[in-house]
A and B are shown apart, each in its own frame.
Chain A
Amino acid sequence: MSERPVPPRHLWWLAAGFTVWCSALVALYAIHGFGCAFVWSAGSLRLWLAVALLAHLMVLGWMWYGISRVAPDFGFGPTGVFLYWAVMGTLITALVATAITFGPPLLLATCI
């Protein structure tokens, strides 16, 4: 085989997108729980939630941009290309899932 093997640490990238999704869930759920427990006003709680969501969306967008602006490294052979597209798929899916799962609920009543 002439191509270089893909370093095993690259496999973590398969989980990266949805790890950010998990982080968004934990952050939003925690902020919401904290805000309701400490009786924050609806406006400030919603603002904090929106900031947290936006931060996660930006991280995902940045990761997607970072991956998509470089072509797959053909030096890694078909395995590298496969992982490139799989990682790309998980990042896009995680970005869409984050927006759909956590965006619309922010419009609901906060602590009822």
Chain B
Amino acid sequence: MLPSQAMREHLLRDMVLLLAATLVLGTVSNLFPSRRLAWWGAGQQPPQVGVDFQWMDVLSAEEIRQSLPGAVFIDARGLGAYGESRIPGALHLSYTELGTALPADLEARLRGADLVLLYGDTADADIEQLMSQQLRRLGLAPPYILLGGLPAWRAAGLPVESASEVAP
């Protein structure tokens, strides 16, 4: 497909030059403190259980919800899913919101909470893990993540509420 040896060599040379330019630009740009990342993975490590968050099973979470009024449940799913059904009393917070501008009243509420529990709709809870890491960076205690998310909560027959059930 490549027409000639000369063209192949030309292509290879240009690709190496492009790679070199990438390395120079990336290295220089990473010297700016405002956007700096650690070179070798130490800057933003994956969230770790026991450090950034703890797991909590659905039955313990329900017990906490009923017995600890200072506990805050955070729904990390999309706003549409949150409107349809959620754990009673849960607040909504998205990862994007958390990364850019956490509403002041919500931040105050989280700081004053006895316990914060995050839940989503997947068993992996990737987003919730990232959110818990971000919350910890904001200086909050490591939150809990609901094991199995809302599907596990529903499967256990625990109550959910929808927007229409909440008084304005």
A-B interaction: no
Chain B residues at the A interface, C-beta cutoff of 8 Å: none
- The residues of A with any CB-CB pair to B shorter than 8 Å are none
